[in-house]
Structure 1
Amino acid sequence: MTQPTTTIPLVDMQGVRERDPQSLTRAGEAIRRACTEVGFFYIVNHSLPQTVIDDAMQAAQAFFAEPLERKTEVAVNKRHRGFHRRGGATMYQATRPDEKEFFGFGLDLAEDDPSVLAGEALRGPNQWPGFMPELQRAMDSYFLEVGRCGADLLRAVAVSLEIDPEFFVAKYTKPLQRTQAVYYPVQPDDRPADQFGVAPHTDYGCITLLYQDAIGGLQVRELGSERWIDAPFIEGSLVVNVGDLLARWSNDRFRSTLHRVINTSGRERYSIATFYDPDYGARVDPVDLGVSVDEARYPPVAAGDYILGRIDASMSYRKTAAS
């Protein structure tokens, strides 16, 4: 299959899971270039099985095809788990809500889990539609495998930042990993200029791993030129970007990058995004990544508190709950 032309780099992850030093060095150098020159990159040979991806995408499509009244049986709850209907998310500085639906889930913790009992926001059990047990089976498998991929990736990210490859491991003992299956309806060609599938935004957390279908529509604001460039589907790849939390942690050596979705393909679009973020209480401090106190641009912050604040500012259901 002929791959599309793009200026977004491809990073080969072959050998990273096995901790091969040469592979880690190669991937780390490629990530450093990608994160300082473009702001996005693809990963290939990432060890996320295609069968797991296909099962998750098929289950997501079946769920989103259900009538709205059925999907709202698992409407989003205070833990940010469940179905978000169209119009429920407005990115900061956007003038219109996003034209998308999504179903979110995270690390499945029982009500008596210590993190839940301690009152950590966003923690707790997932909620799944009783009418579609295959959705839980497929997404549980995807969640597990993409989390392994995220852990591999952070080892290479650590090398790219010239710190111990295992630095992030202690920060991810109970990660605030969140995965969303996303549905984008067709947007007409004559849509308002300020109407997007997802409006321009940066992600809140550490790293995002995205599987997208072949429909297209993802665009990236290139760091070097500040022009919008397409991030087309590339077979066998995941799309990766730095979030605001890692930008902060790296003292802006890596910057989070604006991106958006405009679906004018005439077809429905689907993707699965995973926000692979640290433990709720993980301390995010640029000093820990090798800069001096005087050089640090940001004070320490707990990862979960930062992410929660960003979610609260973007999701209409959370604004309603707080009012």
Structure 2
Amino acid sequence: MTQDTFIPVIDLAPAHTGNYALVGQKIHDAFVSSGFCYIKNHGIPTECIEELKKQSLDFFHLPLSEKERYRPKQAVRGFNALNRTIMYGAARPDYKEFYQIGPELSPESEQKLPKNELQGVNIWPEDRPAFRDAFLAYYKAVAECGQILLKAVAHSLNLESQFFEKKYHYPLQRTQTIWYPPAEARFESEIITYGVAPHTDYGCITLLWQDDTGGLEVQNLQNEWVSAVPIPDTLVINIGDLLCRWSNDRYRSNMHRVLNKSGKERFSIATFYDPDFDAVIDPSDLGLPETEASHYEPVTAGAYIMRRISESQKKKSA
């Protein structure tokens, strides 16, 4: 299997016009083998991406004391400094900074939502309206892409195209801009400092825009690390543990990591597009064959994701 077939480029254009089945078959093949693909014709305007990149880098280049004013008050929403997260089994915390937003709901919102740490009020830097505008514009555009993509994913599992919509009334969409500082000198020791240590994602689908620096690597079927090289005008798509569970292991939630050995900064935008907090993730919903037993007990999306987030933020014991 070549790199091109292991992480294929899939054209999302047919899905934009309602041909989800054509895209779905290609998604099926990718998610069974690697759990990863690229998509082109995703529909997010280039200027939307570039503006968020500009505004985010302007923020990340501020003094730490200024950025720390916007530390999370709720889950990981807001600015997260270096060493904020540590993946399971990692010797060191991830060497990255990120800024995260979620569903933009005010305290006066009339939407009756469950009280939880993944939905609430976003934190915004003062006197930076362009930062907020750029973030929200991208957030909306990537959500539209996620909705279309999930219809193709539904077809890939022989489900009706609207299947996932029933679980996405108030989705747990978290979008974060991620800055990896130059880290060349940090690879001289025997213990590698990862931008993001090897891990699987927590939720259903991840939509990632990456700059041209490189550094994202995916584990292949031989447990070797394969570079997910930056391809202009594409997003990298991968599934997470919840969709793996939901599919009863038909789809692969695959290990991946970031190693920024470039000697320069790296920037990416990750969106975790997940179901409602109280959505029940049950493999039997996907129509298991009579001869195939469910591998997993039902879980709610929010409880599962919050547990994984909490584990990643625990301080490493001495």
- Residue matched to 2:32: 36
> For residues 118-153 of structure 1, what are the alpha-carbon distances to aligned partners after superposition, in whole Å with 9 as ceiling and x for unaligned?
422221010100032211000000000000000111
Task: Name which of 225, 230, 235 aligns with 2:232.
Answer: 235
Q: When the two structures are aligned, how many residues end up with a matched partner?
A: 312
Aligned to 2:117: 121
Question: 1:298-317 alignment to 2 at 5 Å?
Answer: 298-316=296-314
2:219 is matched with which residue? Answer: 221
Cα deviation digits, residues 35-89 of structure 1 (max 9, x gap): 1122210000111111111111111111101110111110122232100000110
CA distance in 1 between partners of 2:314 and 2:82 (Å) = 11
Shift of 1:179: 0.5
CA shift at 1:312, angstroms?
A: 0.5
Partner of 2:147: 151
* 1:272 matches 2:269: yes
Aligned ranges for residues 15-164 of structure 1 at < 5 Å? 15-20=14-19, 24-113=20-109, 118-164=114-160
Q: C-alpha distance in 1, partners of 2:215/2:191? A: 15
Q: Unmatched 5+ residue regions in structure 2? A: none
**1:258 and 2:262 matched:** no
Given the alignment, which residue of 209, 212, 223 partners 1:211?
209
Segment drifting more, 135-144 vs 187-196: 187-196
Q: Is the 8 A contact 1:187 1:264 kept in 2?
A: yes
Select the residue among 201, 206, 209 that pairs with 2:199: 201
CA distance in 2, matches of 1:117, 1:277: 15
Q: Verify the 8 A CA contact 2:33 2:252 in the aligned structure 1.
A: no
Mapped contact 1:209–1:241 kept (Cα < 8 A) = yes
**Structure 1 pair 299–6 and aligned structure 2 pair: CA distance change class (3 A):** closer
User: Is the CA contact 1:82–1:126 (under 8 Å) kept in the aligned structure 2?
Assistant: yes
Q: Which residue pairs with 2:166 in the alignment? A: 170
**Aligned residues of 1:111 and 1:117 also touching (Cα < 8 A):** no
- The secondary structure found in structure 2 opposite 1:313 is helix
1:193: how far off?
3.5
Shift of 1:316: 4.0
Does structure 2 retain, via aligned residues, the 8 Å contact 1:82–1:103? Answer: yes
Offset, 1:25? 1.7
Instruction: Give the TM-score normalised by the residue count of structure 2.
Output: 0.93
CA distance in 1: counterparts of 2:112 and 2:68, whole angstroms: 24
Q: What letter is aligned with 2:15?
A: V
| Distance in structure 2 (CA, Å) of the matches to 1:163 and 1:309 | 29
* 1:17 shift after superposition: 2.2
Please give the TM-score of this superposition, normalised by the length of structure 1: 0.92
Is contact 2:14–2:23 with CA below 8 Å preserved after alignment?
no
Structure 1 alignment gaps of length 5 or more:
none
Q: Residue type matched to 2:28 in 1?
A: R
Residues 278-323 of structure 1 deviation map (CA, whole Å, 9 limit, x = unaligned): 0101111000011168611111111001000000000148x9xxxx
Q: Is the 8 A contact 1:6 1:232 kept in 2?
A: no
- AA aligned opposite 1:228: W
Deviation at 1:104, TM superposition (A): 0.5
Q: Distance in 2 between matches of 1:13 and 1:139?
A: 23
CA contact (8 A) 2:14 2:22 kept: no
AA partner of residue 84 (structure 1): N
Which residue does 1:287 correspond to in 2? 284
Q: Which runs of 4+ in 1 moved over 2 A?
A: 4-7, 112-118, 191-194
